[in-house]
């Protein structure tokens, strides 16, 4: 009797575990509940050759009435604030400049849920279902890389707003971006650590599931080692994953090594928790990060702990660079009643660059838009003058900001290397 009972418990538990594993497989795709959609990227790969003439046809069909522009951004999940800020900028630009080639521009927004699989699905949905001519997105380099492959196969151009990892555009002739890239951003922060903070030893904490964080950490490391001339200038490299909330184990190890500065690029939510836990453990070294820190939630979650944290970003409302910057700033304040962040400005610029390319191409045909995008030169955007190089990257200045009294405060502008 007793054995029988244990057996039945055992069976139930084994079943539960199997279920759990299935569930966690879903989780690994972070809630990609539309499993039927996960086949789509593969479908689009097959459809590339045969589907090209198809998509041309359909785009000429649909181009009669409107020009279709797709947007894929994280509206939910760990990067939701970043995606939402970007979309604010895109919507604003769409309101201010709603037409091109005498036709109305129609935006299609798909949430990529801060998930790589969903990002690939989102792009194929925009291409196959909504028949868009050009795509804008996405916040987050990992998401952009996942989506970029699908767009490349379907030969539809994408204009990235804020993915800064170099691999997003490398070997992808259809991906462009209006922001600077991480080798530059890493160097800017390494210089700030070395020159301004006089740091000799640095620790790095990176999110290993986030290409942005890993890439930026490596560029920081290279630049910092070069600046100090000390091969052992990086005393520790700690790792965590997106979604982690407990960082005390990594931080306790770092505290023991006593670095002068800690570089910890990553999602604003995790980073704010991490810095909070570091301060609770009594770590006094200044924290540095990248452009993802710029979200109001970073300060709300981190509170007193994130005071003094410095990071690099793309734009500041305090030092407008072009005529368009002022225009953007005024319109944004009027519409949303607050100061814009860099991501809103980049979303705004990405839309304008895409619209400009459609205008110069004189058609809504994806290939023509791609060719026009590649020739973008001296375009005056809200974040600066945008010239796309042979990789499709913009060579732009960076801005350093710092958290002071619960606000992001402008520190300095750093020009790119010529």
Partner 1 sequence: MTFELFLQHLINGISLGSLYALIAIGYTMVYGIVRLINFAHGDIIMLAAYFVFFGVGLFHMPWWLSALLSIVLTALVGMGIEKAAYKPLRDAPRISILISAIGVSFFLENFGIVVFGGRPQAFYSPKVFQGVIKLGNVSIINLGIIIPVITIILLMGLVYIVNNTRTGMAMRACSKDIDTAKLMGIDVDRIISFTFGLGSALAAVGGIMWGLKYPQLHPLIGIMPGLKCFIAAVVGGIGNIPGAMLGGFILGIGEILLVAFLPGLSGYRDAFAFIILILILLFRPTGILGEKVAEKV
Bridge partners (DSSP) of residue 71 are: 109, 136
CB of 336 to partner 1, least distance (A): 15
- Return the number of the residue (75 or 400) whose C-beta is nearest partner 1: 75
- Return the number of the residue (188 or 306) whose C-beta is nearest partner 1: 306
DSSP code at position 45: H
CB of 334 to partner 1, least distance (A): 23
Residue 279 is encoded by which pair of tokens?
Answer: 């301060």
CB of 392 to partner 1, least distance (A): 30
CB of 60 to partner 1, least distance (A): 36
- Return the number of the residue (57 or 245) whose C-beta is nearest partner 1: 245
User: Can you give the binding site for partner 1, defined by CB under 8 A?
Assistant: 5-6, 9-10, 12-17, 19-21, 23-24, 27, 31, 33, 75-78, 80-81, 84, 111, 113, 208-209, 238-241, 243-246, 248-250, 252-253, 256, 269-270, 272-273, 276, 280-282, 297, 300-301, 303
Contacts 24+ apart (CB under 8 A), 363-369: 363/63, 363/101, 364/59, 364/60, 364/63, 364/67, 364/68, 364/101, 364/133, 365/56, 365/59, 365/60, 365/133, 366/55, 366/59, 366/133, 366/134, 366/155, 366/156, 366/157, 367/155, 369/133, 369/134, 369/157
CB of 26 to partner 1, least distance (A): 9
- Return the number of the residue (195 or 258) whose C-beta is nearest partner 1: 258
- Whether the bond between 398 and the residue before it is cis, its omega within 30 degrees of 0, is no
CB of 171 to partner 1, least distance (A): 26
- Return the number of the residue (180 or 247) whose C-beta is nearest partner 1: 247
- Return the number of the residue (166 or 243) whose C-beta is nearest partner 1: 243
Residue 71 is encoded by which pair of tokens?
Answer: 């947007």
- Contact status, residue 91 vs residue 85, Cβ threshold 8 Å: no
Contacts 24+ apart (CB under 8 A), 32-35: 32/113, 32/115, 32/117, 32/118, 32/121, 34/121
């Amino acid at each position: 009797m007793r054995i029988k009972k244990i057996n039945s418990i055992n069976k139930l538990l084994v079943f539960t575990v199997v279920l759990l594993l299935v569930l966690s497989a879903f989780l690994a795709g972070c809630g990609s509940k539309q499993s039927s959609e996960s086949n789509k990227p593969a479908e689009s790969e097959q459809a590339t050759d045969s589907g090209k003439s198809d998509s041309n046809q359909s785009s000429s069909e649909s181009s009669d009435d409107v020009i279709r522009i797709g947007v894929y951004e994280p509206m939910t999940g760990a990067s939701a604030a970043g995606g939402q800020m970007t979309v604010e900028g895109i919507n604003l630009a769409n309101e201010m400049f709603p037409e091109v080639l005498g036709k109305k521009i129609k935006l299609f927004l798909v949430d990529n849920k801060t998930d790589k699989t969903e990002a690939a699905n989102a792009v194929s949905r925009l291409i196959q279902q909504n028949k868009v001519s050009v795509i804008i997105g996405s916040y987050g380099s990992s998401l952009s890389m996942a989506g970029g492959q699908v767009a490349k196969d379907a030969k539809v151009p994408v204009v990235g707003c804020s993915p800064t990892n170099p691999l997003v555009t490398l070997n992808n002739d259809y991906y462009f971006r209006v922001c600077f890239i991480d080798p530059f951003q890493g160097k800017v922060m390494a210089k700030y650590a070395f020159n301004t903070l006089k740091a000799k030893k640095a620790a790095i904490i990176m999110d290993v599931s986030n290409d942005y964080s890993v890439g930026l950490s490596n560029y920081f490391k290279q630049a910092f080692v070069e600046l100090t001339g000390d091969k052992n200038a990086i005393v520790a490299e700690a790792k965590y994953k997106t979604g982690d909330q407990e960082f005390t184990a990594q931080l306790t190890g770092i505290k023991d090594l006593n670095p002068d500065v800690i570089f910890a690029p990553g999602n604003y939510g995790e980073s704010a928790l991490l810095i909070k836990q570091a301060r609770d453990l009594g770590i006094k070294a200044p924290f540095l990060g990248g452009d993802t820190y710029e979200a109001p939630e970073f300060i709300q979650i981190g509170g007193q702990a994130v005071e003094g944290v410095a990071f690099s970003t793309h734009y500041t409302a305090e030092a407008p660079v072009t005529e368009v910057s002022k225009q953007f700033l005024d319109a944004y304040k009027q519409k949303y009643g607050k100061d814009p962040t860099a991501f809103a400005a980049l979303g705004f610029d990405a839309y304008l660059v895409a619209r400009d390319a459609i205008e110069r191409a004189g058609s809504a045909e994806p290939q023509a838009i791609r060719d026009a995008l590649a020739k973008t030169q001296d375009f005056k955007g809200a974040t600066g003058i945008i010239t796309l190089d042979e990789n499709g990257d913009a060579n732009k200045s960076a801005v350093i900001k710092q958290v002071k009294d619960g606000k992001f405060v402008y520190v300095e502008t750093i020009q790119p290397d010529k």
